[in-house]
Amino acid sequence: MPESLGNTEHVLKPGVVCDGCNNYLAREVEKPILGSLYFKERRFSTLVPNKRGHVVPLDGFHLKSGTRIQVYADTGAGVCVGAHPDAAGSISSKVDIPNSNLF
């Protein structure tokens, strides 16, 4: 299982897979799979961080205001909701939601 799905224990040693093969798998297999809504939701709900240590945000839509939103999660700080960066007239503030109110 790749690191991008939470594996940190079973990692191949450098040189076992050639760089070209590894890059091909990352680009042609992992990237499309991880970009799918199914895997974004799974990684978000299990708080699997990316290589930068951030949990990938989920996109959504606030029905009452008609605003695109993003939900952000942090492995230690909980969840916050804010306007999507591409939302017209987006606000810069986010609302924090404590971990105890999740899942």
Q: What is the pTM of this model?
A: 0.66
pLDDT of residue 100 exceeding 80, the answer is: no
* 80 strand-pairing partners: 72, 96
- Work out the percent of the chain whose per-residue pLDDT is above 70: 82
CA distance 32 to 24: 12
Taking alpha carbons only, the member of 48, 47, 39, 42 closest to residue 6 is: 48
- Quick: pLDDT tens for 61-73: 888 888 888 988 8
pLDDT of residue 5: 80
Q: pLDDT band at residue 24, thresholds of 50, 70 and 90?
A: very high
- Work out the percent of the chain whose per-residue pLDDT is above 90: 13
Mean pLDDT of the chain: 80
- The residues spanned by each domain of the chain are 9-101
